[in-house]
Amino acid sequence: MNNIEHKNYNDKSYALGATGSAIRELFEFGKKRKQEIGADNVFDYSLGNPSIPCPDIVNETLINLIKNTDATLLHGYTSGPGDMNVRNSIASYLNKTYGCSEKGSLIYMTCGAAASLTVTFNALIASDSDEVIVFAPFFPEYRVFIEKANGIVKVVKSREEDLKIDFEKFEGTINENTKAVLINSPNNPSGVVYTEEDIKNLSAILYKKEKEYNHPIFLISDEPYRELVYNMDKVPFVTNYYDDAIVCYSFSKSISLPGERIGYILVSNKCNDAINVYKAICGSGRSLGFVCAPALFQYMIPSILGYTSNIDEYKKNKDYLYNELKKIGYDAIYPDGAFYMFVKALEDSASNFSERAKKHELLIVPSDSFGFTGYVRLSYCVSFDMIKRSIPAFKALFDEYKNK
């Protein structure tokens, strides 16, 4: 006899579908509000949707492929892990750019960053005691993806002063169940970028702990913002510092193609048991329903590697916004990358602060959604004009607190 109460659908899936994310809710509120009072009167800093168009070469390449490729080939299945020429061209590009020695045969093409992560987690997590360490503040979907793959999320809070890794806390959190450590630099939501020294320190701890527990601890590097850095020539590439590294990439952000869902997973050539880890990734993708990454966009990749959208515009936005907020009196973490800024809320509760900001038509995401208290995230991938027009609202909000 079956004594389990029948459920018509999966509770967890329902809850995820019914609530949506805090970010999306704010965005939807903004859409409604814009209809009510006009788009120009709402200062929407809610979404990480690139505001700068992709470089012309993207659309030129797409049209060229459509016009000059046999349609059954162009739109046909690629192999599950992706077209081999495309994968080889990515490996060559990485090796040339970062001086690593990666292989196309260990690259798996995906439908974007989220897919890169879910495929990786479902490939690695092997028992329900497996833990994945994330550093707060972190992208809230990380928890959704890790828990769906039956993993346990262990949060290590970053240092309050600069949102870099608190290495002491980090080391204390690693145990024999630590399957992987997830980093995201340049960071969403803070814009913080790890330096070479940061990655070296992180790697030293991981190597020590791998030895102690006698099994690999994977470093998963989520890098959709890799090229969006303003303070250095390029970010340190993790496979040059740590062997058991898996890079999750997406072409969404730096080349402004978030809707097209194209990215990849790279298993480092030096990773322990790399070929078998790669096979687990292939099998994981298969079981989640990713037959292959979109073909037309795969074939586009070799022509656009090394290109980005004109990121000087984000830099201009960032510098202007940061300086104006500082002038008013706000405290913010200076962002070195991505297109996010972490600004200190003017009261303990970031949620309350975000609510009060709404009354000034400012849509800013409370940091609680990112596992961190007391801040708001501003996505400055918006028009420069909107930023300029929003400054008086930030001023009014600040004065409201000051005159309380």
Selected binder of a copy of itself within 26, 46, 51, 249 (CB under 8 A): 51
Selected binder of a copy of itself within 43, 145, 194, 242 (CB under 8 A): 145
Name residues contacting a copy of itself, limited to 286-305 (CB under 8 A).
286-298
Strands (E), 88-157: 107-110, 131-136, 152-157
Name residues contacting a copy of itself, limited to 210-229 (CB under 8 A).
213, 215-216
Determine, following the binding rule CB under 8 A, whether residue 70 of this chain makes contact with a copy of itself. yes
- Interface with a copy of itself (CB under 8 A), residue total 93
**Are the CB atoms for 280 and 255 separated by under 8 Å?**
no
Determine, following the binding rule CB under 8 A, whether residue 144 of this chain makes contact with a copy of itself. yes
Provide, rounded to whole angstroms, the least separation between the CB of residue 293 and a copy of itself: 7
Region class of 97: left (phi > 0), else alpha (psi between -120 and 50), else beta: alpha
Burial class for 7, CB neighbours closer than 10 Å (0-12, 13-18, 19+): exposed
Q: Which C-beta is closer to a copy of itself: that of 71 or that of 161?
A: 71
Provide, rounded to whole angstroms, the least separation between the CB of residue 99 and a copy of itself: 27
Instruction: Report helix, strand or coil for 374.
Output: coil
Number of other CB atoms surrounding residue 280 within 10 Å: 17
Selected binder of a copy of itself within 8, 99, 161, 404 (CB under 8 A): 8
Determine, following the binding rule CB under 8 A, whether residue 67 of this chain makes contact with a copy of itself. yes
Number of other CB atoms surrounding residue 300 within 10 Å: 24
Q: Which C-beta is closer to a copy of itself: that of 299 or that of 394?
A: 299
Q: Which C-beta is closer to a copy of itself: that of 19 or that of 97?
A: 19
The structure tokens 């790279």 sit at: 266
Name residues contacting a copy of itself, limited to 261-280 (CB under 8 A).
261, 272-273, 276-280
Piece of 43-51, 198-206, 227-235, 331-339 that binds a copy of itself (CB under 8 A)? 43-51
Provide, rounded to whole angstroms, the least separation between the CB of residue 234 and a copy of itself: 24
CA–CA separation, 90 and 93 (whole Å): 5
Largest distance between two CA atoms of the chain: 70
- H helices of 11-55, in order, are 11-19, 22-37
Q: Which C-beta is closer to a copy of itself: that of 78 or that of 268?
A: 78
Determine, following the binding rule CB under 8 A, whether residue 333 of this chain makes contact with a copy of itself. no
CA–CA separation, 240 and 98 (whole Å): 8
Sheet harboring 332-333: ordered strands across? 332-333, 340-344, 375-379, 365-366
Query: What DSSP designation does 260 have?
Result: G
| Helices 295-304, 84-98: crossing angle, 10 deg rounding | 30
Query: What DSSP designation does 151 have?
Result: -
Provide, rounded to whole angstroms, the least separation between the CB of residue 288 and a copy of itself: 5
Determine, following the binding rule CB under 8 A, whether residue 174 of this chain makes contact with a copy of itself. no
Determine, following the binding rule CB under 8 A, whether residue 68 of this chain makes contact with a copy of itself. no
Piece of 37-45, 224-232, 283-291, 344-352 that binds a copy of itself (CB under 8 A)? 283-291
Determine, following the binding rule CB under 8 A, whether residue 57 of this chain makes contact with a copy of itself. no
Instruction: Report helix, strand or coil for 333.
Output: strand
Determine, following the binding rule CB under 8 A, whether residue 359 of this chain makes contact with a copy of itself. no
What is the helix, strand, coil percentage profile of the chain, to 5?
A: 45, 15, 40
Q: Which C-beta is closer to a copy of itself: that of 13 or that of 231?
A: 13
Q: Which C-beta is closer to a copy of itself: that of 97 or that of 287?
A: 287
